[in-house]
Structure 1
Amino acid sequence: MSIRPPQIVAFGGGGFSMEAGNPLLDDYVLAATGADRPKVCFVPTASGDADHYVVRFYRAFAAVAECSHVSLFRRDKGAGAVEGDLERHLLDQDLIYVGGGSVLSLLGAWRAHGLDQTLKRAWRRGVLLCGLSAGSLCWFSEAVTAFHGPPEPVRGLGLLPHSNCVHYDGEAARGEVFRDLIATGRMRAGYAAQDGAALHFEGRELLRAVSSRPQARAFRVSADGEHALAVEYLGAPKLAAAAAAA
């Protein structure tokens, strides 16, 4: 695995678990690793390591990647990630893909197992981190979650010094709370992405916004309002291949 700059691709929603038959976002993150057959580890903590979610991951990626997964709620810890060897396994990946669910449960479990620090080390070493929903919110300093009820702020890992809102087109209340928190100074400025849109960060700065749907949008949200970002539709010819050259 070649050393690359720290990268995170945060989906507003999408990927194999939300867009059956549309692999554009997943193909994008695979290409962004720069590996011909990347090592990809799925981390389904936010779903409680749901078996069906793990099965769907292998079905989506087994033909194009060397696949493994990490379980914090099972004795076996996951394929390829044995007890006592979890950190080495994760640091050896090209891509760590975090699934959706409860970001509060995800952060609590990661911190209890020390996985938060391992993921920070992986990011600094150039392992590409990505995910949707909870797997997007977790990388930011602050975010809005609505998994357990009304939208509420949550503190993430802080790899990205911004706030984040996912499902920006599908959950109106979440977006309203996000904008209000920022406008009133209770949350730092940040980014919002609709389902099908993804924010690609290199280091701590936004490199580009991409989408798997022609109309999916993403925004920079600050105290002075909402500002639409230029979003590149990955269905356009040759655009997805640009990720490998970034």
Structure 2
Amino acid sequence: MPADAPTILANSGGVVPGHRVRWEFGPLSEYAIELSGVHGRAPRVCLLATAVGDDPFIVASFYAAAQARGVAASHLALFPMPNVGDVPEHLLEQDVIFVWGGSVAGLLAMWQLHDLGPALRTAWQAGVVLTGSSAGSLCWHVGGTTDSFGPDLRAVTNGLGLVPFGNGVHYDSEQQRRPLFHSLVADGTLPAGYATDDGVGLLYRGTEFVEAVGEQDGKGAYLVERGAGGTAVETRIDPRRL
């Protein structure tokens, strides 16, 4: 049962420390599952951990969290080769695709190598909910700020562009994020875009921003637009608390 419109929930959050497992699905991930509209069976959630090289520890932790939650889990690995025979078909069979954080530059390079972009676009258009945190947020946008190349943040501009915006993640926890995102929007490297504090997500229906949602109090989302004279204008968006 697909979502009733192409849906993305792009987060700076989504998992929380677990009680009996290392981590659990947090309110943002639970909301992504809710958006899929599944009733009467276990939701099908597929992990893409490309941004951490399909780290077996992350994959195992995901399956443990999924079992604790009652989710029908799968994962798509690209190292050392795809672990499923028909990647587009597998993605279309999901209710939610969850992209783990890490190197967004590495993720996008591997996805391009395996021509994953068209398959993800098709799944999104079919109503499979796309979600994820950090790199798993940036990837759906035109681009954003990344530490993929080292501790001094740089721009990434080759995102999938399913939504026509720039994206800033970890806006309140990493001091380089806000000024660099402002600079990239101000000089036209990135289009106007949305940024999230940790624990906040951005909901898109089709290519339109709908709302910001949060799993913590006191956090914000932000619209950053290009202003006059090569400046950036930031407008705070108060998230709806999940």
Both proteins in one fold, TM over 0.5: yes
Summarize deviations over 1:67-102 as a string: whole Å, max 9, x none.
100100044x34xxx22x221111111100000000
The letter for the 2-side match of 1:24 is P
* 2:234 pairs with 1:226: yes
Deviation at 1:13, TM superposition (A): 3.1
Q: Which moved more, 1:215-224 or 1:91-100?
A: 215-224
Aligned-partner Cα distance in 1 for 2:3–2:208: 19
- Aligned-pair CA distance for 1:21: 6.0
2:39 is the alignment partner of 1:33 = no
CA distance in 2, matches of 1:232, 1:209: 6
Percent same amino acid among aligned pairs?
Answer: 39
Q: Comparing both chains, which one has the higher relative contact order based on Cα–Cα distances under 8 Å and sequence gaps of 6 or more?
A: 1
Query: Which residue in 2 is equivalent to 1:239?
Result: none
Q: CA deviation at 1:187?
A: 1.9
Could you tell me whether the CA contact under 8 Å between 2:222 and 2:236 is conserved in 1? yes
CA distance in 2, matches of 1:187, 1:165: 11
Shift of 1:181: 1.5
What's the TM-score once normalised by structure 1's chain length? Answer: 0.88
Q: Retained in 1: the 8 A contact 2:2–2:36?
A: no
Whole-Å separation in 2 of the counterparts to 1:3 and 1:174: 32
Report if aligned partners of 2:14, 2:26 keep a CA contact under 8 Å in 1.
no
Q: Does 1:73 align with 2:79?
A: yes
Conservation of the 8 A alpha-carbon contact between 1:102 and 1:134? yes
Question: How many residue pairs were aligned?
Answer: 229
Consecutive unaligned residues of structure 1, counting only runs of 5 or more, are: 235-246
**TM-score w.r.t. length of structure 2:** 0.89
- Partner-residue secondary structure (3-state), 2:165: strand
Q: How does 1:1-246 map to 2 (within 5 A)?
A: 1-2=1-2, 4-16=4-16, 20=23, 23-36=26-39, 37-62=42-67, 63-75=69-81, 77-78=82-83, 82-83=84-85, 85-149=86-150, 150-155=152-157, 156-224=159-227, 225-234=233-242
Structure 2 vs 1, CA of residues 41 and 182 (structure 1 numbering), >3 Å: closer, same or farther? same
